[in-house]
Amino acid sequence: MKILIIGGTGLISTGITHQLLDRGEEITVFNRGRSGFEGGDRVAQIVGDRTDLARFEAQMVEAGPFDCVLDMRCFTPAEAESAVRSFRGRAGQYLFCSTVDVYNKPAARYPITEDELLREGPGVFSYAHDKAECERIFLAAHGRGDFAVTIIRPAHTYGEGSTVLHTFRGATTYLDRLRKGKPVIVHGDGTSLWVSCHRDDVAWAFAAAVGDERTYGRAYQVTGEEWLTWNRYTELVAEALGAPPPTIVHIPTDLLAALAPERAFWCAHNFAGNNIFDNARARDELGFRPTIPFLEGVRRTIAWLDAHDRIDDSDADPFDDRVIAAWRRLGGAIRSELAGIEDGQ
């Protein structure tokens, strides 16, 4: 098959590229040309800027047609509409990398299936709203017969080449704090459920969908199957680091969002809710199975971060220490002021 990967060197798409090469497919990647790829002369490369829509469309028309296009870098409705113009009648299959964040949260019921209603935009969580609108654009193209569309909705994907998620998203000072035995902040009471999936497992699902006509017009959730509270998640990360059991400081999510709206944005709009997804469709139709346990995947990720000197010194960022100290003072003041309140004092 003649396959185009828009991306090709990112966290998920690197694995996809390798797996498709192993199958003997003819691969072209489109990206900015800033990251090297070990596929070497087995992979053709088109260098360009996806956000320069007119230039992108001209390059794609010149390069095509393709049996399959995997779009790992479409984030806005304008980019989706540009892709439709580029590949209408010039791609057999269009495989779009979406996200499980397209669903409304909290969901109407759990576990969430692919039939859950998608977000209606615009909204504060623009990443999720835009991905949902991209899906609508691509499915409309599918309905018109422009090309066959397959949608993959990964959950949080991590692995070598990325970092480890936490309440404030991706700052690696979190890992340094755990190693040094410093307290770490966890939003709310730490009991909301989260799920992650290693990049190699997610890439496998994408590669499995390529050329499979059963997937046309369908969407698939691709997630891990270890649903962890954030408290347990933090304990496992500490274990992967070889660190002592963590000292967790619970702080209300609303307060964190008010104190640090940028740092706590994803916490407030995503992590605080439950993330429980049903993989049955991907299991039944793609043969998907998560193979890398979370603890093992985090160990690999940390090893990669250490090898590339990517874990930052938490002593250089006083944010967590200041918030924790203020929260503890506040808690002490409240306990002192309300001492004996149950007894009517």
Reported as a single tens digit per residue, the pLDDT across 140-192 is 999 999 999 999 999 999 999 999 999 999 999 999 999 999 999 999 999 99
Q: What's the whole-model pTM score? A: 0.93
User: 38-67: string of b/e by CB count within 10 Å (b at 16+)?
Assistant: ebeeebeebebebeebeebbebbeebbebe
Rounded CA gap, 192 and 171, in Å?
A: 21
| Domains recognised in the chain with CATH numbers | 1-154 (3.40.50.720), 159-196+225-275+292-328 (3.90.25.10)
- Per residue in 43-57, pLDDT (tens digit) is 999 999 999 999 999
Question: CB count, 10 Å around CB of 124?
Answer: 9
Is the pLDDT score of 345 beyond 70? no
Rounded CA gap, 285 and 282, in Å?
A: 5
Share of the chain above pLDDT 70, in %: 98
Tell which wins on pLDDT, 70 or 37: 70
Rounded CA gap, 137 and 186, in Å?
A: 37
- Per residue in 165-179, pLDDT (tens digit) is 999 999 999 999 999
Tell which wins on pLDDT, 9 or 266: 266
Question: CB count, 10 Å around CB of 5?
Answer: 28
Amino acid found at 259: L
Q: Is the peptide bond before 122 cis (omega within 30 degrees of 0)?
A: yes
Average pLDDT, the chain: 94
Average of per-residue pLDDT across 84-103:
97
